[in-house]
Amino acid sequence: MYQPAGVTTSSDFPIPSDMKAWVLGGPDELVLRNKPTPVPGRAEVLVRIDAVAICATDLQVIHSGSPASIQGGLPFNKNFTPGHEYMGTVAALGPHVDEYAIGERVSVEIHAGCGQCKRCRQGMYTSCINYGRPEKGHRANGFTTDGGFAEYAINHINTLARVPDSMSDAEATLVVTAGTSMYGLTELGGLVAGESVVVIGPGPIGLLAVAVAKALGACPVILTGTRPKRLALGRELGADRVINVAEENAVEVVKQLTGGVGADYVVECAGTEATVNQAIHMANRGGKVCLAAFPHDPVTTDIAHLVRNNIYLYGIRGEGRSATHRAMALMAEKRFDAAKIHTHTFPLSDLPTALRYARERVEDAIKVVVTTRQVNELARVAAE
Ligand SMILES: [Zn+2]
Ligand SMILES: [Zn+2]
């Protein structure tokens, strides 16, 4: 049985000393293994994972290693468990933890900073100077420390957000994605109501950026893309106007819709050279471009246009400044329905199929969720 010294457990939540976890071998090689159930330390809890959403970044990590990094190198053959968009139930408490109780449903954010470096002291823990150094207290679950494709994971209490009873497990996994969009628009961007926002690329982050922008009072909210079904979903989530770039010149249409000047914010979620350049030409003078995608190759950009027009360009990695808490508040209030982007559910034991659905967009998959619960149970909860 699992009963580490100093850790609080409950007979309501019996915890095995070993758990099932998917482990990354070589590139594209995942193996379901037994691992010791991890032990929470100070200010940490053990989360029983109930549902995990698959992110494009997981696919990238499993295939090419980056942007995950274990012991300063690629994460292959290091007994590493990926997965970062999960939710679950608090199953055990580290020493002296009284902020959460066993049995509470929580969703998580990825990053816990070291808490002692300059950036952490500024609240910018996603830019922790000790990134990738767990011995300093830094964690980025699914990137530098073990993640969610497992039965249990360790989370710092600062990375938890309570899930209301009315929210399904699957929807709760989407808080990370919504929180990332929110961080880019509000904490880093400074968005206030009435400002104009263009989102490039209707993937999960782009679609929820539309939803968050609309919920925060942005006007107009414009979404660009190529797939009609995704653009239609963008409309349902709050886009005032969608632009199919195969049919219209996105930069010209944005200019027309914004009185000829361009948008206050452009959130670039496609990650190609063409879309980065569209983004800077859609932004108005003094406007801001948030880079939320990872381009695969170096990008050539019209820097002179940025300089001449005082355009701010900034990258985001993840969901800092507790943006997940604010995203959770909007979702709990049903200000938008993030669950619209959840399309498929598989058992955790069938992760390879789930990854294939996400990678190949089988049956128009958007967010694919794996669960340790009965799939029909998850569906039932979601339907309630
Ligand atoms: Zn993600
Ligand atoms: Zn730090």
- For range 281-293, the mean pLDDT: 96
Q: What is the CATH number of the domain that holds 307?
A: 3.40.50.720
126 CA to centre of ligand 2 in angstroms = 8
The total domain count for the chain is 2
168 plus 278 within the same structural domain: no
37 CA to centre of ligand 2 in angstroms = 26
- The answer to whether residue 73 scores a pLDDT higher than 90 is yes
Residue pLDDT, tens place only, 302-360: 999 999 999 999 998 888 888 999 999 999 999 999 999 999 999 999 999 999 999 99
Residue pLDDT, tens place only, 243-272: 999 999 999 999 999 999 999 999 999 999
354 CA to centre of ligand 1 in angstroms = 15
Q: How confident is the model at residue 97 (pLDDT cuts 50, 70, 90)?
A: very high
218 plus 75 within the same structural domain: no
81 plus 187 within the same structural domain: no
Query: 354 lies in a domain?
Result: yes
Query: 326 lies in a domain?
Result: no
Question: 107 has which bridge partners?
Answer: 87, 161
- For range 125-129, the mean pLDDT: 94
Neighbours of ion ligand 1 (CB under 5 A): 55, 57
Query: 13 lies in a domain?
Result: no
83 CA to centre of ligand 2 in angstroms = 22
276 CA to centre of ligand 1 in angstroms = 20
Ligand with smallest separation from the Cα of 176:
1
Query: 236 lies in a domain?
Result: yes
Q: What is the CATH number of the domain that holds 87?
A: 3.90.180.10
Q: How confident is the model at residue 189 (pLDDT cuts 50, 70, 90)?
A: confident
129 CA to centre of ligand 2 in angstroms = 5
Range of the domain at 351: 18-173+338-383
